[in-house]
Structure 1
Amino acid sequence: MEQGIHIITVATRDLVAARRFYVGGLGWRPVFELAGEIQFYQVAPGQVLGLFDAEMLSEDIGDGRDHGTPSGFTLAHNVHDADAVHRTVERLERAGGTVLKHPQPAAVPGMLHAYVQDPVGVVWEIAYNPGWRVEEDGAVVFD
Structure 2
Amino acid sequence: MEQRISLITLATSDLDASRRFYVDGLGWAPDLEADDVLMMRAGEHLILSLWRQEAFEEEVGAAAPGPGLVPLTLAHNVGSAEEVDGVLRGARETGAPFVSVAAHREWGGYSGYFADPDGYRWEIAWAPGPVNDAVLP
- The percentage of aligned residue pairs carrying the same residue is 35
- Partners of 1:12 and 1:68 within 8 A in 2: no
Runs of 4+ in 1 over 3 A off after TM superposition: 67-70
* 3-state SS of paired residue (1:19): helix
Name the TM-score, length of structure 2 as normaliser: 0.85
**Which residue number corresponds to residue 12 of structure 1?**
12
Q: Number of paired residues? A: 133
User: Which residue identity does 2:128 align to in structure 1?
Assistant: P
Q: Does the CA-based 8 Å contact 1:17-1:96 persist in structure 2?
A: no
Instruction: Report the alpha carbon displacement of residue 55 of structure 1 after superposing the two structures with TM.
Output: 1.0
| Whole-angstrom CA distance in 1 between matches of 2:110 and 2:101 | 10
The structure in which a higher percent of residues are helix is 2
Question: What stretches of structure 1 of length at least 5 have no aligned partner?
Answer: none
User: 108, 114, 117: which one pairs with 1:116?
Assistant: 114
Give 1:94's aligned residue.
93
Residue type at the aligned position of 2:125: A
CA apart distance, 1:76: 0.4
Give the Cα separation in 2 of the matches to 1:121 and 1:103.
Answer: 18
Do the aligned partners of 2:13 and 2:118 also contact (CA within 8 Å) in 1?
Answer: yes
Higher share of residues assigned strand: 1
The yes-or-no answer on 1:44 pairing with 2:43 is yes
From the superposition, tell whether residues 68 and 7 of structure 1 become closer, same or farther in structure 2 (CA, over 3 Å). Answer: farther
Counterpart Cα distance in 2 of 1:22 and 1:54: 17
1:9-29, CA deviations, whole angstroms, 9 ceiling, x for partnerless residues? 110011122112212343210
Pairwise CA RMSD = 2.1
